[in-house]
Amino acid sequence: MSVAEMAGAGDVAVVVAPLAVEGLVMAYDGAPVIDGLDLAVPAGSFTVVVGPNGCGKSTLLRAFARTMRPRAGRVLLDGEPITGLRGKEVARRIALLPQSPIAPEAITVGDLVARGRYPHQGLLRQWSAQDARAVEAALAATETVELRDRLVSSLSGGQRQRVWLAMALAQDTELLLLDEPTTFLDIAHQYEMLGLCSRLHTQGRTLVAVLHDLNQAARFATHLVVMAEGAVVAQGPPSDIITAELVEAVFGLPARIIPDPVTGTPLVVPAVA
Amino acid sequence: MRGPKAGATTGPTTDGPTTASGTVTARAGTQRVVQLGGGRARGPWLAVVVHPRPVLVCLVFLALAAVAALATLAVGELGISLAELPGVFAGHGTRAQEWALFTSRLPRLGVAVLAGAAFAVAGAIFQSVTRNPLGSPDVIGLGAGAAAGAAAAALVWPGFVSTPVGALLGAFLAITVVYLGTGRGFAAPHRMVVVGIAVGAMSLAFVQLALVRASRESAQEVALWLTGSLAARATGHVVVIGVALAVLLPAALALTRTMQLAEMGDDLATGVGVPVRASRTLAVVVAVLLTGAAVSVCGPIAFVALTAPQIARRLTRSSGPGMVAAACCGAVLLVVADLVAQYALPGIIFPVGVVTAGLGGIYLAFLLVREWKRVAV
């Protein structure tokens, strides 16, 4: 049984994982950052990948997003090798919110979000009623409808991140990849962004996010993947896998785990003073 | 979701008459969608997004180009009044008038319009690829590489290839060195500019060497060509650049959308399904061919490629490389610069390259100062 099939074990029959890697080897110039990784994203999950700096979590997301080519191994989309699919075909099924996209000068929110429709369009058929509906839905889902005619350059950081998310949503995909979506936001906007992601998950999308903050990951993830040195150390529902031993082993941080007083999810409290 | 009508505050919605041809039927952001043909089931075969402002700007450019074109045809030592012009066209002018119009001025005008457009589109492509207004072919060594190729063909190893072919080879050699020199191909915009400046400097050194070593007559001839000139153009020149544009401009238009997305970052472009590396390489090849074709008919006229796309972009307030607007702007710039070169100082005729270099130099200085300020802040 392949990794992709295992993800569905326990569900009805065998469900193929929407996104999986098999024997993945990822390397920049020197030694591999990830060396022979198997991982399957459960269908319908909000999967969050965490780990210390340099553990390979962002590199794993790059493999999923096709922004970096694996040195060996395969990335599987619904069980099919992703390399066999055309770029636009993949982009109709996976959307990516990259870490630092560049907003063009003098572009309005509406025009920016509309660019997310590219994979659904042709050389000569560049706009359709379906495109208009998807853009409306994306603006509504991210509460950016009233920003439509504003210039992206005039927006605050939190608004801008919601607009980028809207562009990814306009792609109208089952899967959404988020590369540290909270990095440049203040704490209130971090929770706003994660709450938004959580809603998108509840509405039926499968999300894969890389996050820095373990407590935010524990609060919002339905499936947590903990990585260290290019390998998966633990994965599962946060409340099942987060232990003091794990945090100590992976992050080198002595900690106590208590139930989050708001959500009941595990809360990591550093035991250093 | 509020349904498709939510955004259509000023126009009819996409549910409008899709069977009609040439109708503006939808609103996408601030833009309009022009649709052609097709039934309700299959949808239109053509649905192009059009912004009103760039269309207006292009019309203004075309009007200016028409005025400048009339001036180019009518003004001169042998003046042909505007009233006479249609008559001369129809073959009712004097022999001298017909010679001036058909042999001298029309080819000159044709080369100016088409080469101006070609330079400008090449500039728009390079500025988009490098994500930098400084990243035009003039600055990143393509023009200088073409000049070096031309000098090599004409002076150093004469008889191997013609001067224009030498220019094209030089341009390709220069861009190859830039590609290899960045270490990451065309995926490193800033490095492209830096390496390109170095390649340009080395190419110019080679040109100087070739000129110094050549005999005086041939050196003078090549030196004039290297400045860029529209004097004594023939119909053959118009055909060369016309054919090049006819093939390459549609290619540039087809690449516009992928280039817009690539400007937003390689990761984002890949995410929406753009084959970033392939389309970028294709765009660079189109730009090099356009530059090569233009250089081969009128020499490496400086700074049209640098200025025209930026002027067009500012005026259209567009958020991407607008190929058509850039082409119109380049045509206007070169025709007007040629008028200035011929008539600004009575009795002195400059090569047009001197005028564009002078004006473009001022603009380049402005750009550099702005970049410095941005870095300093």
pLDDT of residue B69: 92
For A10-22, b where at least 16 C-beta lie within 10 A, e where not — what string?
A: eeeeebbbbbbbb
The alpha carbon of residue B25 is apart from the nearest alpha carbon of chain A, in Å, by: 10
The stretch B283-296 carries a mean pLDDT of 91
- Round the average pLDDT of chain B to a whole number and report it: 83
| Dihedral of the alpha carbons of B25, B31, B36, B41, in degrees to the nearest 10 | -60
Q: Give the pLDDT band (50/70/90) at residue A34.
A: very high
Of the two residues B320 and A96, the one the predictor is more confident about is A96
In this structure, of A10-19, A125-134, B195-204, the range with the lowest mean pLDDT score is A10-19
Q: Determine contact: B312 vs chain A, CB below 8 A.
A: no
Of the two residues B86 and B44, the one the predictor is more confident about is B86
pTM of this prediction?
0.86
- CA-based nearest residue in chain B for residue A100: B265
Q: Give the pLDDT band (50/70/90) at residue B21.
A: very low
Q: Determine contact: B19 vs chain A, CB below 8 A.
A: no
Assess contact for B123 and B337: CB atoms under 8 A: no
Closest by Cβ to A66, choosing from B2, B270, B317: B270
Q: 269-298 in B: which are within 8 Å (CB) of A?
A: 270-275
Q: Determine contact: A100 vs chain B, CB below 8 A.
A: yes
Q: Over pLDDT 70: what percentage of chain B? A: 88
The alpha carbon of residue B256 is apart from the nearest alpha carbon of chain A, in Å, by: 10
Closest by Cβ to B271, choosing from A95, A103, A114: A95
Q: Which candidate in A127, A153, A178, A180 is best for mutational testing of the B interface (most B CBs within 10 A)?
A: A127
The stretch B215-220 carries a mean pLDDT of 81
Rg of chain B (C-alpha set): 23
Flag if A113 and B29 touch (Cβ within 8 Å).
Answer: yes
What string of DSSP letters covers B150-177? HHIIIIISTTSS-HHHHHHHHHHHHHHH
Q: Determine contact: A154 vs chain B, CB below 8 A.
A: no
pLDDT of residue B39: 53
Q: What is the pLDDT of residues B298-350, one digit of tens each?
A: 888 888 999 999 889 888 887 767 899 999 999 999 999 999 988 888 878 88
Closest by Cβ to B26, choosing from A86, A99, A127: A127
Closest by Cβ to B28, choosing from A104, A132, A137: A132
Assess contact for A204 and A45: CB atoms under 8 A: no
Assess contact for A51 and A209: CB atoms under 8 A: no
CA dist B276 → A233, B261, B263, B265, B270 (Å): 34, 9, 10, 9, 6
The alpha carbon of residue B266 is apart from the nearest alpha carbon of chain A, in Å, by: 8
Residues of A in contact with B49 (CB under 8 A): 114, 126-127
CA dist A99 → A115, A186, B145 (Å): 18, 16, 37
Closest by Cβ to A110, choosing from B3, B30, B47: B30
- CA-based nearest residue in chain A for residue B266: A67
pLDDT of residue B20: 39
Flag if B261 and A100 touch (Cβ within 8 Å).
Answer: no
Q: Give the pLDDT band (50/70/90) at residue B376.
A: low
Residues of B in contact with A132 (CB under 8 A): 4, 7, 13-14, 26-28
Which backbone phi and psi does B298 adopt, to 5 degrees? Answer: -145, 15
The most confident of A56-65, B29-38, B191-200, by mean pLDDT: A56-65
pLDDT of residue B8: 35
Residues of B in contact with A64 (CB under 8 A): none
pLDDT of residue B37: 66
Q: Determine contact: B17 vs chain A, CB below 8 A.
A: no
Token digits of residue A3: 């990794």
Q: Label residue B347 left, alpha or beta by phi (over 0 means left) and psi (-120 to 50 means alpha).
A: left
pLDDT of residue B38: 58
Q: Which candidate in A118, A153, A163, A176 is best for mutational testing of the B interface (most B CBs within 10 A)?
A: A118
What string of DSSP letters covers B211-250? HHHS-HHHHHHHHHHHH---TT--HHHHHHHHHHHHHHHH
Flag if B131 and A67 touch (Cβ within 8 Å).
Answer: no
Flag if B273 and A118 touch (Cβ within 8 Å).
Answer: yes
pLDDT of residue B40: 54
In this structure, of B24-28, B53-57, B83-87, B249-253, the range with the lowest mean pLDDT score is B24-28
pLDDT of residue B14: 40
Q: Give the pLDDT band (50/70/90) at residue B15.
A: very low
The alpha carbon of residue B258 is apart from the nearest alpha carbon of chain A, in Å, by: 9
Sign of the alpha-carbon dihedral angle for B156, B162, B167, B169: negative
How many CB pairs below 8 Å do chains A and B form together?
Answer: 145
- Residue type present at position A33: V
Q: Which candidate in B14, B50, B57, B268 is best for mutational testing of the A interface (most A CBs within 10 A)?
A: B268
Token digits of residue A70: 């694996």
Q: What is the pLDDT of residues B348-373, one digit of tens each?
A: 888 888 888 888 888 878 877 877 77
pLDDT of residue B288: 92
Q: Determine contact: B2 vs chain A, CB below 8 A.
A: yes
- CA-based nearest residue in chain A for residue B16: A129
pLDDT of residue B31: 61
Residues of B in contact with A92 (CB under 8 A): 273
Q: Determine contact: B39 vs chain A, CB below 8 A.
A: no
Q: CA angle, B235 as apex, B233 and B240 as ends, to 5°?
A: 95
Q: Determine contact: B264 vs chain A, CB below 8 A.
A: yes
What are the residue boundaries of the structural domains of chain B, listed by start?
Answer: 1-50, 52-374
Distance between CA atoms of residues A181 and A200, nearest Å: 14
Question: Which residues, other chains included, contact B354 with Cβ-Cβ below 8 Å and sequence gap of 6+?
Answer: B227, B341
Q: Over pLDDT 90: what percentage of chain B? A: 36
Q: What is the pLDDT of residues A192-231, one digit of tens each?
A: 999 999 999 999 999 999 999 999 999 999 999 999 999 9
Distance between CA atoms of residues A122 and A135, nearest Å: 17
Q: Does pLDDT of B253 surpass 50?
A: yes
Distance between CA atoms of residues A187 and A195, nearest Å: 12
Closest by Cβ to A87, choosing from B3, B47, B275: B275
pLDDT of residue B374: 64
Closest by Cβ to A101, choosing from B3, B254, B265: B265
Q: Give the pLDDT band (50/70/90) at residue B219.
A: confident
Q: Determine contact: B7 vs chain A, CB below 8 A.
A: yes
Q: Determine contact: B37 vs chain A, CB below 8 A.
A: no
| HSE toward the beta carbon, residue B344, CA cutoff 13 A | 11
Residues of B in contact with A101 (CB under 8 A): 264-265, 267-268
Q: What is the pLDDT of residues B85-124, one digit of tens each?
A: 888 888 888 888 888 888 889 999 999 999 999 999 999 9
Flag if B7 and A98 touch (Cβ within 8 Å).
Answer: no
Class of domain B52-374: mainly alpha
In this structure, of A140-154, B38-52, B156-170, B264-278, the range with the lowest mean pLDDT score is B38-52
Q: 318-347 in B: which are within 8 Å (CB) of A?
A: 318-320
For B235-254, b where at least 16 C-beta lie within 10 A, e where not — what string?
A: eebbebbbebbeebbebbeb
The stretch B171-194 carries a mean pLDDT of 88
Q: Determine contact: B15 vs chain A, CB below 8 A.
A: yes
